[in-house]
Amino acid sequence: MIIDKFVSRIFAFVLSFFLISPILLVVLFAFTDRAIASFPINSLSLKWWVEIFNHRQFASCLFNSITIGLSVALVSSITGTMAAVGLSKLPTKTASLTLAIISIPIMLPPLVLGIALLSFYVSLGMKLGLHTVIISHLLFTQPFVILVVYSRMITFDYSVIDSARDLGASPLKAFITITIPIIQPVVIGAALLAVALSVDDFIITFFTIGAGNTLPTLVFGMMRTSLRPSVNAIGTIILFMTISSSIIALWITKYRG
C-alpha cells in the first residue's frame, strides 16, 4: 500500500512538472541575459523587455490584442448570457442539444474555421481588419460563455423572481434588479475566459486580420526569423494576460473542471 502511494505521488509529480515546466521556462528566460535560452543561467536582465518595448510594432499589436479581446468579451458575454438564460428555461434535452450544436466550432481545427471565414468575408467583399477578427472570435468564445453561465442558471432559484413579480415588478425590472446581480459574478468570469481565449488565438486571427498584427501573430513572425529571447518577453505578456484573466475567472465562477 505504501509503495503504491509512493509510486502514485512520483507519477503525479512528474506529470504535473511536464505540464507546467514549459510555461515557467518561457517566463524565466524572458529575464535572463543570454541570447539563447539554455542553461546555466549567468545573470538576470531586463534587456529583452527593453528590446520589446522599443520594437516598432509592439505598441500597435498590444493595442490590437486588447481591443479584440475586450470587444469579443463584451459581445459574447451579452449574447452568451442571453442564450444561457433562455436555454435554462427550456427542457434539458433541447438545451443540451442546442449547446452541443453551438459548440461545434470549438471542436473543429482552427485552420479550417480560419480559411472558411476568410473565403466567406472576401467573397462578400468585406475589408479584413480588427472587426472581422472580432466577429470570428465570437464563434469559439460564445459557447464557453453559454456553458459557464448555463451551469449557474440551472441551479437558479426562480422563486425570488416570482416574489418580485408578485410585489409588482415588471419582468424587465425583475431581471435588472434581481437576475443580473445574482448572475453577475459568473458573467464577469465568463467574459474573462473569453478575453483569455481571444488573446491567445493565433490561427483564426492570422487568416482573418488582413494586414494588421496582434501579439500572437507578431510572435509567429519573430519565431520564423529568429529565436531571440525577446519572444519570451512577449510570450510572458500574453501569458500574463491569459493566465491572470483565467485565474480571476476561475476564482469568481468557482469553476473546477
Partner 1 sequence: MKNKNFLLITPAIAIFSFLFVLPFIYFFLISLWKIKFFKLIKDFNLVNYEKAIFNYVEIFLNTYSISIPVAIVTTIIGFYYSYLARFKTGKFGSIMIFIALITLFGGYLMKIYAWKTILGNEGIINSILIYFHMIDEPLSFLLYSKQGLIITFVHFLLPFSILPTYASLRGVNEIEIDSMKDLGAKFYHVQFMLFFQRCRTGVLASFVFCLLITSGDYITPYLIGGKITFIGNMIAPKFGQFYDWPGGAAMSFTMLTISISIILIVTFLFKFTDPK
Q: Residues in contact with partner 1, total (CB under 8 A)?
A: 78
Nearest approach in angstroms of CB 198 to partner 1 is: 11
Nearest approach in angstroms of CB 127 to partner 1 is: 17
Nearest approach in angstroms of CB 216 to partner 1 is: 5
Residues 58-97 that bind partner 1 (CB under 8 A): 78-80, 82-83, 85-87, 89-90
Nearest approach in angstroms of CB 69 to partner 1 is: 13
Nearest approach in angstroms of CB 154 to partner 1 is: 14
Nearest approach in angstroms of CB 1 to partner 1 is: 11
What are the residues whose beta carbons fall under 8 Å from the beta carbon of 62, sequence distance 6 or more?
215, 237
Question: Which CB, 139 or 182, lies closer to partner 1?
Answer: 139
Residues 164-193 that bind partner 1 (CB under 8 A): none
Question: Which CB, 37 or 130, lies closer to partner 1?
Answer: 37
Residues 4-43 that bind partner 1 (CB under 8 A): 5, 8-9, 11-12, 15-16, 18-20, 22-23, 25-26, 29, 36-40
Question: Which CB, 41 or 46, lies closer to partner 1?
Answer: 41
Residues 216-255 that bind partner 1 (CB under 8 A): 216, 219-220, 223, 227, 231-232, 235, 238-239, 242-243, 246-247, 250
Segment contacting partner 1 by CB under 8 A, of 47-55, 107-115, 149-157, 159-167: 107-115
Instruction: State the Cα–Cα distance between residues 46 and 121, nearest whole angstrom.
Output: 42
Nearest approach in angstroms of CB 67 to partner 1 is: 19
Q: Per the omega criterion (within 30 degrees of 0), is the bond before 171 cis? A: no
- Identified binder of partner 1 from the candidate list 77, 136, 179, 230, rule CB under 8 A: 136
Question: Which CB, 46 or 90, lies closer to partner 1?
Answer: 90
Instruction: State the Cα–Cα distance between residues 253 and 65, nearest whole angstrom.
Output: 24
- The DSSP annotation for the chain comes to -HHHHHHHHHHHHHHHHHHHHHHHHHHHHTTB-SSS--SSP--B--HHHHHHHT-TTHHHHHHHHHHHHHHHHHHHHHHHHHHHHHHHTS-HHHHHHHHHHHTHHHHS-HHHHHHHHHHHHHHTTPPPSHHHHHHHHHHHHHHHHHHHHHHHHTT--THHHHHHHHTT--HHHHIIIIIHHHHHHHHHHHHHHHHHHHHH--HHHHHHSTT---HHHHHHHHHHH---THHHHHHHHHHHHHHHHHHHHHHHHT---
Question: Which CB, 67 or 220, lies closer to partner 1?
Answer: 220
Instruction: State the Cα–Cα distance between residues 111 and 118, nearest whole angstrom.
Output: 10
Instruction: State the Cα–Cα distance between residues 157 and 178, nearest whole angstrom.
Output: 11
Q: Assess 142 for contact with partner 1 (CB under 8 A).
A: yes
Q: Assess 154 for contact with partner 1 (CB under 8 A).
A: no
